Structure 1
């Protein structure tokens, strides 16, 4: 049985370095439930980050790896958008058409004719069906984590990818430094003030899935407010179920990430290039000493 709830008030306060006019456009949302949920999923979230970083350390600029990642997660975003009402998943967050646009660019307009979801995705969708049949509010646990990930990690990955392909304007060294907070541990604990990846403001072909025309901070606040409007009104049993499904997001995502093809090939190719370069420098120095 789904729990009805009343919207929680948005906290109106002035953030450091912002004017009252700016705050009127971008109110600060109460982060209490966001912190609680993040703390409850911190261990599996960190394991997921380690997996992603290890998997994609050198493969980000490889198109085959990128589009196989899009293909792997396409069905998950599609399912969420087709099964959650707008009050739980605002339309402006929807990514299905953007994923399809990118996949058509990389694989051709007829990509769906030979496409079949991989086993890890089928398993994921079966679980989402079961969750949806129990309570759509539990399905929102997946939407909250998946869209926050796309608006944070997705932006970071896209910008790093664009830097490697020399598509981002500005000094590459400065851009790389700005992608990560200086103190990651402190940033994890301070969700309200931690620096976030700067928004991708240009959309070359093949990056529609991670491009948001609207200001991402506003979209994040909308999603946080949906969490506030519901999570705060849950009874203890529903809250425990919601947290459990929030943890399951990272477990199922991990299975899908492991299925992405081409990562080892791309990493080995880049390591080979680095090795050739290092050996070239080594022999050049030896010759110079003769």
Structure 2
């Protein structure tokens, strides 16, 4: 059975595996989860995430009523509010004044604004990369942050996806959305290409964070 026979979600996952794994192997992530960085590095990660999630969720509102991709806009996935609560808890009520987007974050935002408001497939590529990635890996990260910093609830609400139910059934639902959306072959190829771009942009943010926060 080929990846195409298995469905588009399986094909997308296979075609982005290398870039996904490169992002996961980031030195910044390894140092953070290895306990070699402090709470400030984690707060910096959330601050950069708030910048690009804000733009992605603007794009989601743009597509919410769309007959093709509107069903990917799922309220339980939205992260901006959770990030704001976490940042207020970690950095205090004036946290916004201290957020400075890193160069890689600005490049990420530029790409989101360039493609996610006009191209349905590009929007889904970035949506998939961010939300399914943070949902899938977030539970492990959440437990590790509790062990490292004693965070439980406040400070790690970004990784709380309880609003969509248990992770595995929701991931199956999301993959079913990918499989049942009426993409043509050019759209599938373009979506895969953009998802790989998204993983590279994400890795660049980790690299920039690692340049500021390192063991």
Range class of TM-score, shorter chain: 0.7 to 0.9
Q: State the match for 2:213 in structure 1.
A: 263
1:66-124 Cα shifts (integer Å, max 9, x gaps) = 11111111122221212122522211111110000001111111212343322211111
Higher Cα Rg, which structure? 1
Taking only aligned residues, the RMSD between alpha carbons, in angstroms, comes to 2.3
Is contact 2:43–2:87 with CA below 8 Å preserved after alignment? yes
Partner of 1:46: 21
Kindly state the Cα deviation for residue 60 of structure 1 after the two structures are TM-superposed: 6.8
Instruction: Provide Cα deviations, 1:118-151, integer angstroms capped at 9, x if missing partner.
Output: 2211111111111124412321111111111111
In structure 2, do the counterparts of structure 1 residues 41 and 161 end up closer, same or farther at CA, with 3 Å as the change threshold?
same
Q: CA deviation at 1:164?
A: 3.2
Question: So what's the TM-score if we normalise by structure 1?
Answer: 0.62
Structure 1: gaps (5+ residues): 1-29, 168-202, 268-290
Pair 1:61–1:216, CA change in 2 (3 A) = farther
Stretches (4+) displaced over 6 A = none
Query: What TM-score do the two structures reach when normalised by structure 2?
Result: 0.82
Distance in structure 2 (CA, Å) of the matches to 1:43 and 1:132: 23
Matched, 1:97 2:87: no
CA contact (8 A) 2:33 2:145 kept: no
The match for 1:140 is 124
The answer to whether the 8 Å contact 1:89/1:223 transfers is no
Contact 2:32 2:42 survives alignment (8 Å): no
The number of aligned residues is 199
Q: Secondary structure at the match of 1:260?
A: helix
Aligned to 2:50: 74
Residue 207 and residue 155 in structure 1: after superposition, are their counterparts in 2 closer, same or farther (change >3 A)? same
Give the distance between the partners of 1:163 and 1:55, measured in 2 at CA: 15
Q: Does 2:172 correspond to 1:221?
A: yes
Name the stretch that deviates more: 236-245 or 82-91.
82-91
Bigger helix fraction:
2
**What is the alpha-carbon distance in structure 2 between the residues aligned to residue 204 and residue 57 of structure 1?**
18
Residue 193 of structure 2 corresponds to: 244
Aligned equivalent of 2:67:
none
1:158, 1:207 within 8 Å by CA — same for their partners in 2? Answer: yes
User: What secondary structure sits across from 1:259 in the alignment?
Assistant: helix
Please name the residue that 1:152 is paired with.
Answer: 136
